[in-house]
Structure 1
Amino acid sequence: MGDSGTTELYLQEDTYSALAFKPVPGVHGPHSWGMALLGDPEIRLTTVPKAIEFHRGIEGSRKQLHLQSLRNYWVERVRDLPGMQILTPDDTARHGAVTSFRLPAMRDYTQAQKMATLLLKKHRVLTVARTGIAQGSAVRVAPTLYNTHQELDRLVAALRQESGAFV
């Protein structure tokens, strides 16, 4: 569920000169710069300082409760699917928002990748295939602070529609 177009980038002040920076039109200020790195002119970091400021203004325990409620929202709606295994414990002391699931046919990484690709391409839901997990591969769902119940409903509907092919 994460945003595939955003990433966090930390640069030390003395490394700026090693990168190809260019100004962002119409934006001014000490943190209002755009960046072309590795030839990609679409990378923009103009909102990172504002995002950091916003996150610092929200108490950590409030973030945790919200993320856990998002996790529980979708998990409660798919737990009854035939063969569905929720691989993250329900105990809130043992999870945040990230939760992996597995269906019976996902015993290898190829099948987990197939599900993650299907969720993204057909349903526009970003998940990640995981390997190295006991008893087979799985798919990881990672709601973020800004995800809505409507977006999670799309995940739930997608899992309900596609899970039969993985049983």
Structure 2
Amino acid sequence: MAPYELDHPNIKNLNHTGTHPVATDLAVNNAIDYFEKIGAKRKEERLRYLQFYWSDKVRNIPGIMVNTPAERERSCGIANVGIQGMDPGDMAKILMDKYKIYTVGINYAGVVGCRITPNIYTTPGELDVLVKALHEMAKRA
């Protein structure tokens, strides 16, 4: 948030952060070490596996629109899914309130749905909850 007094003659007017949390800075080296142990290729393979684990299960369900390409080489961990006739914001709210799944609704530039972003530690069982939720939501829409 910018300060009330625009007293800097440069971009500093747009960077009022208050007290910066040091934990994020201290964690950078550990995060890099962790990434190097896993390796980029293994991380990519895991994220792609997780995305297609759930998206393949809902891709051909009536009322569900997977807005991410089915070709493995055209996407990786993040995917977008919508329910026909349902506003993405409403969809995100239902996913959170009823199923405890946090996501972000997107309705911009021709993309209408929720961004689903598993991480490497997300389990297939957790994604099964998402699949079940999407099935139930599509039936009610």
Task: Using structure 2 for the length normalisation, give the TM-score.
Answer: 0.76
Q: What's the % identity of the aligned pairs? A: 28
SS at match of 2:80: strand
Q: Which residue of 2 aligns with 1:139?
A: 114
Report the Cα distance in structure 2 between the residues aligned to 1:138 and 1:127, rounded to whole angstroms.
10
Report the Cα distance in structure 1 between the residues aligned to 2:28 and 2:124, rounded to whole angstroms.
25
Specify the code of the residue in structure 2 equivalent to 1:115: M
Q: Which residue of 2 aligns with 1:50?
A: 30
Report whether the alignment pairs 1:150 with 2:125: yes
Report whether the alignment pairs 1:124 with 2:123: no
Work out which of the residue numbers 67, 73, 84 in structure 1 matches 2:64. Answer: 84
Deviation at 1:117, TM superposition (A): 0.9
Superimposed CA distance per residue, residues 109-148 of structure 1 (whole angstroms, 9 cap, x where no aligned partner): xx110011110121111111112132x6211111111111
Q: Which residue of 1 aligns with 2:140?
A: 165
Report the Cα distance in structure 2 between the residues aligned to 1:64 and 1:99, rounded to whole angstroms.
14
Report the Cα distance in structure 1 between the residues aligned to 2:58 and 2:73, rounded to whole angstroms.
22
- Report which of the two has the higher share of helix: 2
Specify the code of the residue in structure 2 equivalent to 1:120: M
Gaps of 5+ in 1: 1-17, 22-34, 37-43
Work out which of the residue numbers 92, 98, 104 in structure 1 matches 2:78. Answer: 98
Task: Using structure 1 for the length normalisation, give the TM-score.
Answer: 0.66
How much is the aligned-residue C-alpha RMSD, in angstroms? 2.1
